[in-house]
Amino acid sequence: MPQLTDVLRDTPVVRELSAIVESGSPLPGAAEAGTTPDLVRAVIASPGGEGRLPLPRTEAVILQFTRPALLVRNGRIVPPRSKTLAARLLSARARLEPRVASVGRIEFRDHPAFGWGGTGWLIADRTVVTNRHVAENFARREGRGYGAIVTPATGRPIQTRLDFREEHRPTGRSRPLDIDVARVLFMAEHDTSAPDIAFLELRPDDRMPEPIPLSRTDPRSEMDIAVVGFPSRDTGGMLDDTDAKGVFGDIFDVKRVSPGKALVVDTKPWYFTHDASTLRGSSGSAVLDMEGNAVGLHFSGIPGEANHAVKPTALLDALARVKRRSRASIPADPAERKRGRAADPLEAAVSEYEDREGFDPAFLGAGAAVRVNLPEKTTAPRDVLMHGPRGKRTGELKYEHFSVAMSKSRRLCLWSAVNISGDQKKSARRRSWLIDPRIPRDAQLLPGDGADDVYGDPPRFARGHMTRREDPIWGPVELAERGNRDSMHYTNAVPQMQPFNAGIWLGLEDYALQHCVEDQMRISVITGPVLRDDDPTRFGTQIPLRFWKVIAFIHDDTRKLTATGYLMSQETYLAPEEFVFGAHETWQRPISEIEKLAGLSFDRLSSRDPLRRQPESLAAPLTDYADITFVA
Give the tens place of pLDDT for each residue, 298-325. 999 876 567 999 999 889 888 877 876 6
577 against 64, higher pLDDT:
64
Confidence band of 2 (pLDDT split at 50, 70, 90): confident
pLDDT confidence bin for 548, thresholds 50/70/90: very high
Looking at the domain that runs over 368-627, which CATH code has it been given? 3.40.570.10
Average pLDDT over residues 6-34: 81
Tell me how many degrees the CA angle 621-551-455 measures, rounded to the nearest 5: 75
pLDDT at site 234: 64
Q: What is the pLDDT of residue 446?
A: 85
Q: Torsion angle of alpha carbons 470, 476, 481, 487, nearest 10°? A: -50
Distance of CA 449 to the CA centre of its chain: 15
Position 166 pLDDT exceeds 80: yes
pLDDT at 572: 47
The helix (run of H) or strand (run of E) holding residue 142 is strand 139-142
- Determine the pLDDT at residue 24: 78
- Beta partners for 274? 262, 307
Residues 6+ away with beta carbon under 8 Å from 134: 106, 117, 118, 119, 120, 198, 283, 284
Task: Inform me whether the pLDDT recorded for 329 exceeds 80.
Answer: no
| Rounded average pLDDT over 363-379 | 92
pTM: 0.59
Average pLDDT for 223-247 = 72
The average pLDDT across 20-26 equals 81
Query: What are the φ/ψ torsions at residue 497 (nearest 5 degrees)?
Result: -65, 150
* Distance between CA atoms of residues 22 and 18, nearest Å: 6
pLDDT level of residue 346 (50, 70, 90 thresholds) = low
Q: How far apart are CA 286 and CA 295, in angstroms?
A: 8
Of the segments 109-118, 223-232, 420-429, 433-442, which one has the largest average pLDDT value?
223-232
* pLDDT for residue 564: 94
Residue 557 has pLDDT above 60, yes or no: yes
Lowest mean pLDDT among 6-10, 167-171, 276-280, 456-460: 456-460
Number of neighbours of residue 291 by Cβ within 10 angstroms: 12
Rounded CA gap, 186 and 181, in Å?
13
- Taken in order 276, 282, 283, 284, the sign of the CA dihedral is negative
What is the rounded average pLDDT for all residues in the chain?
84
Q: With a cut of 70, say whether residue 158 has pLDDT above it.
A: yes
3-state SS class at 252? coil
CATH topology of domain 98-202: Thrombin, subunit H (2.40.10)
What average pLDDT does the segment 24-30 reach? 74
Q: Is the pLDDT of residue 355 over 70?
A: yes
> CA–CA separation, 180 vs 202, rounded Å?
6
d(CA 127, CA 184): 10
**Range name among 120-134, 308-322, 360-374, 566-580 with the lowest pLDDT average:** 566-580
pLDDT at 630: 79
pLDDT score for 3: 76
If one counts every other C-beta atom within 10 angstroms of the C-beta of residue 327, the result is 5
Per-residue pLDDT for 371 more than 50? yes
Cβ neighbourhood burial of 366 (10 Å; 0-12, 13-18, 19+): exposed
In order, the DSSP letters of 400-452 are: SSEEEEEBTTT-SEEEEEEEEEGGGB--------B--TTS-GGGS--TTSSS-
More confident: 319 or 209: 209
Q: How confident is the model at residue 455 (pLDDT cuts 50, 70, 90)?
A: confident
Measured CA angle at 378 (ends 374, 382), to 5 deg: 95
pLDDT tens digits along 105-155:
999 998 888 899 999 999 988 999 999 999 999 999 888 789 999 887 788
Mean pLDDT of 53-68: 76
Q: Give the residue with greater pLDDT, 235 vs 403.
A: 403
Dist. CA 400–CA 397, nearest whole Å: 10
Give me the percent of the chain exceeding a pLDDT of 90: 50
Q: What is the mean pLDDT of residues 427-442?
A: 88
Q: Give CA–CA dist 596/598, Å, rounded.
A: 6
Confidence band for 162, pLDDT divided at 50, 70 and 90: very high
pLDDT digits (tens, 9 = 90+) for 499-540: 566 678 888 888 888 877 776 789 999 999 999 999 988 888
Question: Cα 463 vs. chain centroid, distance in angstroms?
Answer: 15
Please report the pLDDT score of residue 103 as a whole number. Answer: 98
pLDDT at residue 608 above 80? yes
What is the spatial distance between Cα 553 and Cα 520, in angstroms, rounded to a whole number?
A: 10
CB atoms within 10 A of CB 268: 14
Per-residue model confidence (pLDDT) at position 456: 81
CB-based contact 617:576 (threshold 8 Å): no
